[in-house]
Amino acid sequence: MPRALITGITGQDGLYLGEFLAARGYDVYGMVRGQANPKIQVVEDAIPSIRLLEGDLRDLSSLISVLETSQPDEIYNLGAISFVALSFKQPELVGDITGMGVLRMLEAIRIHGSGARFYQASSSEMFGEVQETPQDERTSFHPRSPYGVAKVFGHYTTQNYRESYGIFACSGILFNHESPRRGYEFITRKVTQAVARIALGKQKKLTIGNMDVSRDWGFAGDYVEAMWLMLQQDTPDDYVIATGKSHTIRELLDAAFHFAGIDDWRPYVRQDARFFRPADVNLLVGDASKAREKLGWSPKADFDDLIKGMVSADLENEQ
């Protein structure tokens, strides 16, 4: 039975990946930072066979201990502070966990000498002020947030350990991927929850920031398969994972309100400058040709499927 270790197991991607691997016969270990984490019960309910271990991406010795206990064949580093807006308020914390945490995990692998295959969760936010459209593995990085900068550090660190120490290390440059498990602080879930509450008469207004930015949104459940496929290849490499289609926040509002039975969202939505970022990323759209050709991966859910599923789930939750 292959063994997998997942950092960030309590997050959206960690849950989907844990379920995916458990269904394929993996012995799945999840790393959590302290047993008081309120999301632990959610993880145990979703993945009954999960084994949880205490570790912290800010503490190298704890990572070595986790590796010694789990003895993984594959390591998926999904742990990070992934809310971009927070990175402007706490840049040092985000840099320490999202950036330096990658270095510490790779150092733990090197010191432990486990030979485990390593996946790093890179991000489309690394492209930032995009140099070309669409973006692929050869596109230059120009991050526009402390989060994006930290992800670039983690990405290049992964490449460096692959080239310097022969570690089987891959980075998945994932574009935005959402689901009913997405945190409420992210714009897609903020919108679908508010739309559900407005449709049920429990909320009157939705307040958001920049409505003109455009993102390549896919379904998180599809994207975790790509993570796994990367570690099944003969040679480690980096891959863009995306749908190849971009939508604005206005299009997100159109779809979400439509699926809740409301044709005109304008009376319910207010724009507030407090929600604008100091520096924003205007357009992200990925070219996943390499993943299609080498991994045989392609997204199954489209934008309408994704938003309809999220609205339906939030309507059920609010009812």
Tell me whether residue 123 is one of the annotated catalytic residues: yes
Q: Where on the phi/psi map is residue 196: left (φ > 0), alpha (ψ -120 to 50), or beta?
A: alpha
List the one residue out of 80, 52, 78, 79 whose CA is nearest residue 66: 52
| Structure token pair of residue 318 | 């609010």
In the block, residue with structure tokens 């070309």: 132
Tell me whether residue 147 is one of the annotated catalytic residues: yes
List the one residue out of 249, 233, 315, 303 whose CA is nearest residue 281: 249
Cα 229-221-217 angle, rounded to 5 deg: 105
Give the Cα separation of 15 and 9 in Å (integer).
6
Q: Which of 70, 123, 214, 246 is catalytic?
A: 123
Q: Which of 26, 29, 76, 147 is catalytic?
A: 147
Q: Report, in this order, helix, strand and coil percent for the chain, each rounded to 5.
A: 45, 15, 40
Identify whether the C-beta of residue 103 lies closer than 8 Å to the C-beta of residue 60: no
H or E element: which one contains 218?
strand 218-219
Give the Cα separation of 189 and 173 in Å (integer).
22
Q: Which of 26, 82, 125, 179 is catalytic?
A: 125
Catalytic center residues: 123, 125, 147
